Amino acid sequence: MAAAQGTADPALAAITAANAPDTIRQLEEWGVSFDHEGDDYYIFKSCFSNSPRTHVIKGHGEPIIAAMKKQIEMRNDRITVMDDLNVLYLLKTDGRAGGAVACQKGELLEIQAGAVVLATGGSGQAFKRNMNPADVTGDGYAMAYDIGAELVNMEFMQIGMGFSWPEENIFNGYIWEGMPRLTDREGNDIFEGVLPDGLTEQDVMHEHRKHFPFSSSDCSQYLEIAVQRAINQGKGTEHGGVLIDLTHMTDEYVSSLEDDCGIHHMWPIAREYMRRRTWIF
Ligand SMILES: Cc1cc2nc3c(=O)[nH]c(=O)nc-3n(C[C@H](O)[C@H](O)[C@H](O)COP(=O)(O)OP(=O)(O)OC[C@H]3O[C@@H](n4cnc5c(N)ncnc54)[C@H](O)[C@@H]3O)c2cc1C
């Protein structure tokens, strides 16, 4: 509620918070494994949290998808799964959504339904640069809007810093605690001439450790401003970003840092991912 600065729906936030513990237990029963530290769950302070409450699953969302698929298979007497199917538009019956038309293996398919629930994800691909999977195209928004649904909360897009090369991916906030050096393609420090008096790049990165998304509510904003300024001045790299040096972030260095946002636990996982994907490191 505090992070949303008055824009979050209190009832919805309360439902999410109240249901989280049972959902975690349910996922565990279904075989999803959450990271532990000693006898307890590993939890850390992720974006804008004032206390640690974020759990970690190795493999990100994939174990959740695998567990849910298994549960669906166990209910196959009641659930019909139609895979490899692209829904094109919704059918309107008596002023309500009454089914959909889809394309499956080149054939058009009409599906009648008493009710329609869309779970087609967000619309990250509407942006030229983004870190979303290729199928996050906003199809559900468009299909619902086309038959007269009102779209709400469209302004809640998370815009944040990511890697542009060797692949597009998220740059988690905790990594900033490692104080990486950021330079333009000519090797100049990108913060030069950007920071207000009294603010150092260390202050900016230290603040940004608390959250991934861009925020104008704290001094971390100067990080994105410095990066974008370098790009706007034509000093960005051929991949549309700036250069970041993480080579100093050895185990020894990272374990010597103060950790209140998860860098000790999370950085080795991120670094392992980068190494597996043969990032230059
Ligand atoms: C890089 C990155 C890192 C993230 N990290 C985290 C994190 O650490 N923790 C966290 O909680 N969240 C994280 N998120 C957010 C999280 O992944 C999403 O909020 C979540 O996956 C949304 O789930 P969803 O089921 O609503 O949509 P999705 O997972 O996007 O699923 C939508 C599905 O609908 C399908 N679809 C779309 N259009 C059609 C169509 N026309 N016909 C048929 N099928 C269609 C898509 O193929 C897809 O399978 C991250 C997101 C990104 C991009």
Map out the domains of the chain as residue ranges.
Answer: 10-74, 86-146, 162-277
**pLDDT at residue 265, as a whole number:** 93
Q: Whose CA is nearest to atom 36 of ligand 1?
A: 120
Alpha carbons 24 and 40: distance in angstroms, whole number: 13
* 135 CA to centre of ligand 1 in angstroms: 8
DSSP H helices in the chain = 10-29, 62-74, 139-146, 201-208, 221-232, 251-255, 263-276
Which conformational region is residue 92 in: left (phi greater than 0), alpha (psi within -120 to 50 degrees), or beta? beta
Question: Which residue ranges in the chain fall short of pLDDT 50?
Answer: none
Mutate to test the pocket of ligand 1, among 42, 53, 58, 120 (most ligand atoms within 8 A of CB): 120
User: Is 27 in a helix, a strand, or coil?
Assistant: helix
**HEC string of 53-110?**
CECCECCCCHHHHHHHHHHHHHCCCCCCCCCCEEEEEEEEECCEEEEEEEEECCEEEE
Q: Whose CA is nearest to atom 14 of ligand 1?
A: 61
Q: Whose CA is nearest to atom 52 of ligand 1?
A: 132
Q: Whose CA is nearest to atom 27 of ligand 1?
A: 121
| Residue pLDDT, tens place only, 240-257 | 999 999 999 999 999 999
User: Is 243 in a helix, a strand, or coil?
Assistant: strand
* 202 CA to centre of ligand 1 in angstroms: 33
Q: Whose CA is nearest to atom 41 of ligand 1?
A: 87
Q: Are 136 and 125 in contact (CB under 8 A)?
A: yes
**pLDDT at residue 60, as a whole number:** 85
**pLDDT at residue 2, as a whole number:** 86
Give the residues surrounding ligand 1 with Cβ less than 6 Å away. Answer: 61, 86-87, 119-121, 131-132, 135-136, 139, 169-170
